[in-house]
Amino acid sequence: MSDLAVAVEPIADPYVVAAVESTGAQVVDLAHARVLVWLGDPGDFPALPDEVEWVALKTAGIEGYVRAGIVDDRRIWTNAAGFYAENVAEHALALLLSGLRQINTSVLRHWDKEPIDTAVRTLRSSTVTIVGAGGIGDALIPRLRACGADIIAVNRSGRAVPGADRTFTVDELAQVWPLTDHVVVAAPDTAETRHLINADVFAALPRHAWVVNIARGPLIDQQALRTALVAGDIAGAALDVTDPEPPDPDDPLWSLPNVIITPHIANPASGLPRELAPWVAENIRRFTAGTPMLSVITPERDY
Amino acid sequence: MSDLAVAVEPIADPYVVAAVESTGAQVVDLAHARVLVWLGDPGDFPALPDEVEWVALKTAGIEGYVRAGIVDDRRIWTNAAGFYAENVAEHALALLLSGLRQINTSVLRHWDKEPIDTAVRTLRSSTVTIVGAGGIGDALIPRLRACGADIIAVNRSGRAVPGADRTFTVDELAQVWPLTDHVVVAAPDTAETRHLINADVFAALPRHAWVVNIARGPLIDQQALRTALVAGDIAGAALDVTDPEPPDPDDPLWSLPNVIITPHIANPASGLPRELAPWVAENIRRFTAGTPMLSVITPERDY
């Protein structure tokens, strides 16, 4: 048991409150809190009392908090990247298989068998490159492996990613594309990663390549993507995120047959606090015990 | 090397011919053959000389040959069930994930975020029941397992299926539905399995259930399926096969939002002889050596 004082804002979600109280901690106003569990958006983020030692954010991507200058170095910040990884990896697999298996054209074209049959590709025996192979990559790799795919991981350090056949650094990307059948974009949205997937990449990928983005829209140069899709430089794109988001209603992406767009639901918001709650409780137990916490943000490294 | 005489009909596909010749066998006319590799359809099947000891069919489902009285007990018949299992299992996973992840409504509705978000379900932590867990089930189970699903296998014998959490016999199906989140139909099309998935099943399944069929259309009572989908008794259906096939253009299935139909392309015909060729060669080697062959049809058991 602890007498840790935790604020749950801006709404005292009952699942999260119950999870906090299950650790012995007290749910209090922000003015009296050592911990803030923030279930809102960056735009509503409150002024933080100096006494707040840890802020738990509910999202995986935290670029909105970083750009607004909210994340500081005076306390611990956690995101929920680890918590969401399995869910997002599942959506990445769903998008990739939907593209390879022509679910989009099937839904739209009504038993137009011959063109669909000839467009179907198998994930089995293909090579999938995961750009930004962190927590989501760790969750995606065993799924791809079970489907018989080979895996190339790309990360910043080049440190070998467990389960990947090969690991490259971001600086070595030009070597990666000729070895790649399909791409999953899973990197954070930073100044360095903006338009990491651009016209040069689409030119280097094979024409049968599907590109999946479950990270953030700006990772892909969307104008170059449109051009590549129309020209047939790649086979298709399956996007859970876009730039801007949502795309303009007149954006040609909507009408291209080789595009699948889901509305940023890789990690569905519905029911989220309920799923997040046990994870918050676990991190409270670790904070209280002084053991290493989950998903601590290290701004100088990650963003 | 062997001097086995093999006919490749009705078209001497170059990939299959090369594979046959790679074993040392000779490609000959049917009139002089001991083996027929049949790449056509049941309607074009030729009269068989008595000297033909083995017929290799290219399909997994052979009900068309059985009903036409083509399959006899005077020689060996093989199908290609084992060869296709990995490919069909991949399509089953694609259909299931497409339904759970609302790819169909995403493709049609254009960033209609809230209803899509609330309809998304995860394969992770769900229980998938495979009805007719044979070769396709063996290939599907590790894929589902890697996605974090629990697996119930249903077969005729009740003999425990490796990798499944529990195995039931077909006679015990009524016990299975309350334990099931989603269903994959993978059984052969026989008199016994016709309408195995019927109104009683849809009533017993949970309302969040997706039903996937990659086997044969008649396994599902399609009228009962329509009724269940309209009533919301189940969440959706993802079908690679229908009854009749294709569905009538006016069939309400086409317009239901919670239906995904792919045009019988789980195992795409395009490029098939090329993929089939090494498998034909392996079975010729086994036939010549007298070792157990792959995918031998046992009519009294399977059909």
Tell me: the pLDDT tens digits for B84-94? 899 999 999 99
Flag whether pLDDT at B303 surpasses 50.
no
Contact A54, A76 (CB under 8 A): yes
In B, minimum Cα distance to A115 occurs at B270
CA distance B50 to chain A (A): 37
- pLDDT tens across B167-182, in order? 999 999 999 999 999 9
Query: What's the Cα-to-Cα distance from B44 to each of A3, A216, B264, B268, rounded to whole Å?
Result: 81, 54, 21, 21
Any chain A CB within 8 A of the CB of B231?
no
Flag whether pLDDT at A303 surpasses 70.
no
Query: Which residues in chain A have Cβ-Cβ distances shorter than 8 Å to B249?
Result: 110
pLDDT bucket at B111, cuts 50 / 70 / 90: confident
- pLDDT tens across A76-108, in order? 999 887 778 999 999 999 999 999 999 988 887
- Identify the residue among A120, A239, A254 best suited for mutation to test binding to B, counting B beta carbons within 10 A and taking the highest: A120
Domains and CATH numbers, chain B: 5-60+269-302 (3.40.50), 85-261 (3.40.50.720)
Assign 3-class secondary structure to chain B. Answer: CCCCEEEEECCCCHHHHHHHHHCCCEECCHHHCCEEEECCCHHHCCCCCCCCCEEEECCCCCHHHHHCCCCCCCCEEECCHHHHHHHHHHHHHHHHHHHHCCHHHHHHHCCCHHHHHHHCCCCCCCEEEEECCCHHHHHHHHHHHHCCCEEEEEECCCCCCCCCCEEEEHHHHHHHHHHCCEEEECCCCCCCCCCCECHHHHHHCCCCCEEEECCCHHHECHHHHHHHHHHCCCCEEEECCCCCCCCCCCCHHHHCCCEEECCCCCCCCCCHHHHHHHHHHHHHHHHHHCCCCCCECCHHHHC
pLDDT bucket at A279, cuts 50 / 70 / 90: confident
Q: Tell me which residue has tokens 């997706």.
A: B210
Strand order in the sheet with B236-239: B166-169, B150-155, B127-131, B182-185, B210-213, B236-239, B259-261
- pLDDT tens across A208-263, in order? 999 999 999 999 999 999 999 999 999 999 999 999 999 999 999 998 999 999 99
Any chain A CB within 8 A of the CB of B260?
yes
Any chain A CB within 8 A of the CB of B247?
yes
**A103/B95 touch (CB, cutoff 8 Å), yes or no:** yes
- Identify the residue among B86, B87, B93 best suited for mutation to test binding to A, counting A beta carbons within 10 A and taking the highest: B93
Residue, of B188 and A276, whose pLDDT is higher: B188
**Phi and psi at residue B53, in whole multiples of 5°?**
-95, -20
B262 → closest Cβ in A102, A246, A269? A102
pLDDT, mean of residues A194-212: 97
Which amino acid is it at A49?
P
CA distance A273 to chain B (A): 13
Q: Do the strands B182-185 and B166-169 form a parallel or antiparallel pair, or are they unpaired? A: unpaired
Between CA A20 and CA B115 the distance in angstroms is: 30
Peptide bond into B247 cis (omega under 30): no
What pTM did the predictor assign? 0.83
Position A299 scores a pLDDT of: 65
Position B276 scores a pLDDT of: 83
Interface predicted TM-score (ipTM) of this complex, two decimals: 0.82
pLDDT, mean of residues A194-218: 97
Q: Do the strands A259-261 and B5-9 form a parallel or antiparallel pair, or are they unpaired? A: unpaired
- pLDDT tens across B120-146, in order? 999 998 999 999 999 999 999 999 999
**Phi and psi at residue A166, in whole multiples of 5°?**
-145, 150
pLDDT bucket at B3, cuts 50 / 70 / 90: confident
- pLDDT tens across B57-93, in order? 998 788 889 889 999 999 999 988 777 899 999 999 9
Position A281 scores a pLDDT of: 93
In A, minimum Cα distance to B120 occurs at A268
In the predicted model, what is the mean pLDDT of chain B?
92
In B, minimum Cα distance to A251 occurs at B110
Any chain B CB within 8 A of the CB of A113?
yes
Query: Which residues in chain B have Cβ-Cβ distances shorter than 8 Å to A95?
Result: 101, 103
Position A2 scores a pLDDT of: 61
Assign 3-class secondary structure to chain A. Answer: CCCCEEEEECCCCHHHHHHHHHCCCEECCHHHCCEEEECCCHHHCCCCCCCCCEEEECCCCCHHHHHCCCCCCCCEEECCHHHHHHHHHHHHHHHHHHHHCCHHHHHHHCCCHHHHHHHCCCCCCCEEEEECCCHHHHHHHHHHHHCCCEEEEEECCCCCCCCCCEEEEHHHHHHHHHHCCEEEECCCCCCCCCCCECHHHHHHCCCCCEEEECCCHHHECHHHHHHHHHHCCCCEEEECCCCCCCCCCCCHHHHCCCEEECCCCCCCCCCHHHHHHHHHHHHHHHHHHCCCCCCECCHHHHC
pLDDT, mean of residues B194-199: 98
Which amino acid is it at A123?
L
**B117/A269 touch (CB, cutoff 8 Å), yes or no:** yes
Query: Which residues in chain B have Cβ-Cβ distances shorter than 8 Å to A265?
Result: 101-102, 106, 113, 116-117, 120
Contact B144, B90 (CB under 8 A): no
In the predicted model, what is the mean pLDDT of chain A?
92
pLDDT bucket at B242, cuts 50 / 70 / 90: very high
**A147/B98 touch (CB, cutoff 8 Å), yes or no:** no
Residue B186 token pair: 């993978």
Residue B132 token pair: 């007719």
Across B54-63, B164-173, B182-191, B294-303, least confident range: B294-303
